[in-house]
Each structure stands twice: as C-alpha cells, then as structure tokens.
Amino acid sequence: MTKTITGFSKLSKSEKIDWLVNTYFTDSTSAKTLLKQYWNADEKLQQLHDEFIENTITNYYLPLGVAPNFLINNKVYAIPMAIEESSVVAAASKAAKFWYDRGGFKTTVLSTQKIGQVHFMYHGDTDKLEQFFVALKPKLIVEAKPITQNMEKRGGGILDIELRDKTKDIEGYFQLHATFETLDAMGANFINSCLEQFAKTLKAEAQAFSLFSSEEKDIQVIMSILSNYVPNCLVRAEVSCKVEELTENDNISAQEFAEKFLQAVNIAEVEPFRAVTHNKGIMNGIDAVVLATGNDFRAVEAGVHAYASRNGQYTSLTHATIEDGQFKFWMEIPLALGTVGGLTKLHPLVKLALELLGEPSAKELMQIVAVAGLAQNFAALRSLTTTGIQEGHMKMHLMNILNQFEASSEEKVKLVEHFKSNTVTHSAVVAEIEKLRR
C-alpha cells in the first residue's frame, strides 16, 4: 500500500486519522482510540489547540509542575515548569528553599536589544553603497512607520540600522543590521515585518539612486530575518552567602563543598565536553519555564548556546568564586522573551502560568527564567559533587518504572517505602515487583 498522500491538509481531522491509522498501524483501532483519548472533551478548547498548528491529530501532554519558594529580589515566586524529565522540578524546589534561607536570588536585566538582518548582494563600488546608505537610512525608518508606530507609542521600535560589509566572507555580501526594542513582546513578528519592509525600500531606492550603474542598482535581497542570537538582551542572576552557610550534609564540610563546587564550575569553564552537559542542566530549568510561559524555547536554546561559545570555545554559562570567605555563584545569559503576543493570551495554561507569576513584564520574566536556570545548575552541581546524581534521579524515576509495569496504588505505596532505604535500579525495581506479585 502506498504510504504517501496528496491533499492531506485538506482532509478533516477524522479523515486524517483514518488515513494514518489504516496506512501505518497494524492495530488501527487501538491507535485511533489512543489518539482520540487525548482529545479534550471541551470542543472549543480542542479547536483552539487544533488551530495552533497544521495537521493536528491530537494533543501531546507534558506535565506542568510548580517549584515554590523562589525568593527573587525580595519577592516570592512559585515558578511554573513544563517538563517531562523527572527530578527537574524537585531539584528546582530544593534549590529555591536552600537559597530562600540565604537571602534568595538577586537579578538584573543588563540590556534588552533584539537584532534583525536583511542579507543582500551588491556588486559594485563600496563607497557608492555607503553614500547610498546615508540617504537610505531615514527612508527605511519612515517607510516602516505603519509597522513601528504602535511600538513607538509604548517606548520601543527601531533603535538603529547599520550597513555591514561582509565581502571578506562572501563576495558581494552586505547586510542591513538593525537593532530593536520590543518591550514586552518577544518581537519576532514585529522585527520580521520591519525587515521585510526594509528589503522593499532598499530595492526600490537602489533603482532610483542616480549614482548607481545599472548593475549596481540591481541589489539582490537574499533574505530578511531576525537573529536568535541576542548578546545584547542580557540578564544576570546571582546568589551568594558566607562559605560556612553552605552546610550540605554530615559527610562534607561547608568549606570542602564550596571548594568542590567551585572546581566543578571551573571544569565546565575549560572543558567543552563537560560544559555542554553543565549547560544542558541549566537549560532544564530555563526551557521548562520558557515553555510553561508560552515562549519559544528553540530560539532561547539557539541563542544561549551561541552565547556560550562567543569567545571561540564552548564554555560554562555559570561562574563561581570564593573570596574572603564569601561564596558567589552567578550567570549572565541572553533571553529574548515575551509576555504579550504569541501564545500568551491564547493558551489557557500559559495565561494561568503568567498569572501565577503575577503578570510579569518581559524583563521580569527574563529574571525569573534566569533564576530557574541558575537554581537548576546549583542543584545539579550540589548533587554531583556530594551524593552523585543517580540517587535522587533514580528515586524520581522509580514512579516511571512502576507505571511501566502498571503497578497498582497499593503496590506503589509498598515499593516507594521499600526504596526509601534501598538503591533504585531498574532491575532491583523489577525484582521487587515480581516478588510482590508472586
């Protein structure tokens, strides 16, 4: 049977499902039942989700958890986190509580600039292009006014537009490199609309520029798109306390813990293999909040990792020092986030998450997200340098294994109790289930 189809998007949702289950599944009935089981009974709510993307067939659930007790600049937050990985929310909560008792997190937004570029080809005299750009720049701004005026009323808009010569990299390659302030919006649509207008103005004005030869007039716009690399949209999050306040457990002194922690950060600063995993742990916290608040975690991921390699080698996003008996742990990261537009007013759970956070501005959200990342890294390094990661991880994973074996509530209670004092491994859990069922 052919597994391809034309006009799939034109089919109704039920027709799409019928074609899929009949074409790709041996047990089409149970596949169909499962897909429909995840539909929401509220038809309006389901339709809303159906219309977020194309070819929706069902919903894909992720747990939405909450990590309470985050003290950030003397304000308490319960942070919503959407994530599938067991132990992330528990780790965030533990770190929140730990720092709550030690003064909490301090954060600052360092900058909020976004970037977009029109990439174009020009084959001619560079001096003439520079002259042309001087005349072009005010026109670019004026002709984008219908797009920018509302943003300007609120205090944002286009900050600057530069002509950049990239001919050392590619023959004939230039850019309009523009910077924007998009306030509480992530700004992707705003920036891309401005850029596409810049491209139109650029082409039209080039045709009319009298100093250009006919070849020079023929500017070829390759593409107009925002950059997800936002090194000037930066937030800083920090914690600090006296070394002696870093009491960990009876097996390790505060001083030894602080020193091991510092070395763990130093290793991530110099060793890319470790830095990637170290930063992945940070992104466990960041992505979960970014997703729960309806923001674009792919954009954030791309931008953050580019920032981590800005000096030519991939390195740790967090840093630590011990000076004069004071432990300090901090991070500066680029975060382009929005609290208006996009999914923020559309997805009911995103609205709920933003309300839970007290309807933050984009700047406030940058600070909350950065804290979630720093807290996650603190929790990971704390485990790694003391008990190891598996103890806590496997405890959290226990429930997944029990669910895999369809353990009853009664079995779960007994097994959770058993593994409070026994090491969790997949085989140990299986053996205990079998023993219980014998």
Site string for ligand MEV, 371-390 (x = CB under 6 A): ---------x---x----x-
Say whether 435 is catalytic: no
Say whether 280 is catalytic: yes
Question: Among 13, 236, 280, 395, which residue sits at the site for ligand MEV (rule: CB under 6 A)?
Answer: 280
Q: Contact between 197 and ligand MEV (CB under 6 A)?
A: no
Between CA 259 and CA 192 the distance in angstroms is: 47
Between CA 296 and CA 224 the distance in angstroms is: 20
Task: List CB contacts of 105: < 8 A, sequence separation 6 or more.
Answer: 70, 71, 72, 73, 99, 237, 238, 239, 371, 374, 375
Q: Contact between 278 and ligand MEV (CB under 6 A)?
A: yes
C-beta of 281 vs 373, nearer to ligand MEV? 281
Q: Compute CA distances 134 → 161, 209, 231, 332, whole Å.
A: 11, 12, 26, 36
Site string for ligand MEV, 25-64 (x = CB under 6 A): ----------------------------------------
Element of type H or E holding 79: strand 75-82
Between CA 9 and CA 118 the distance in angstroms is: 32
- Closest distance between ligand MEV and the C-beta of residue 286, in Å? 12
Q: Compute CA distances 231 → 1, 37, 105, 287, whole Å.
A: 51, 44, 22, 18
E strands, 106-191, are 106-109, 113-121, 157-165, 173-181
Between CA 147 and CA 191 the distance in angstroms is: 9
Taking the CA atoms of residue 280, residue 284, residue 285 and residue 287 in that order, the dihedral angle to the nearest 10 degrees is 100
Radius of gyration of the chain (CA): 27
C-beta of 85 vs 271, nearer to ligand MEV? 85
Question: Among 156, 281, 338, 360, which residue sits at the site for ligand MEV (rule: CB under 6 A)?
Answer: 281
Site string for ligand MEV, 58-97 (x = CB under 6 A): ---------------------------x------------
- Closest distance between ligand MEV and the C-beta of residue 63, in Å? 15
- Closest distance between ligand MEV and the C-beta of residue 295, in Å? 20
Which range, of 164-172, 241-249, 280-288, 426-434, touches ligand MEV by CB under 6 A? 280-288
Say whether 85 is catalytic: yes
- Closest distance between ligand MEV and the C-beta of residue 82, in Å? 15
Place of tokens 């740790």: 316
Say whether 18 is catalytic: no
C-beta of 35 vs 252, nearer to ligand MEV? 252
Between CA 122 and CA 174 the distance in angstroms is: 7
- Closest distance between ligand MEV and the C-beta of residue 380, in Å? 4
Residue nearest ligand MEV, CB atom distance:
281
- Closest distance between ligand MEV and the C-beta of residue 283, in Å? 9
C-beta of 83 vs 353, nearer to ligand MEV? 83
Angle (deg, nearest 10), helices 426-437 and 409-418: 130
Place of tokens 């920036």: 191
Q: Contact between 318 and ligand MEV (CB under 6 A)?
A: no
C-beta of 30 vs 266, nearer to ligand MEV? 266
C-beta of 284 vs 295, nearer to ligand MEV? 284
| Beta strands at 106-109 and 234-242: parallel, antiparallel or unpaired | antiparallel
Q: Is residue 294 within 8 Å of 288, Cβ to Cβ?
A: no
Q: Which residues have a catalytic role annotated?
A: 85, 280, 296, 393
Which residues are at the interface with ligand MEV (CB under 6 A)? 85, 277-278, 280-281, 284, 380, 384, 389
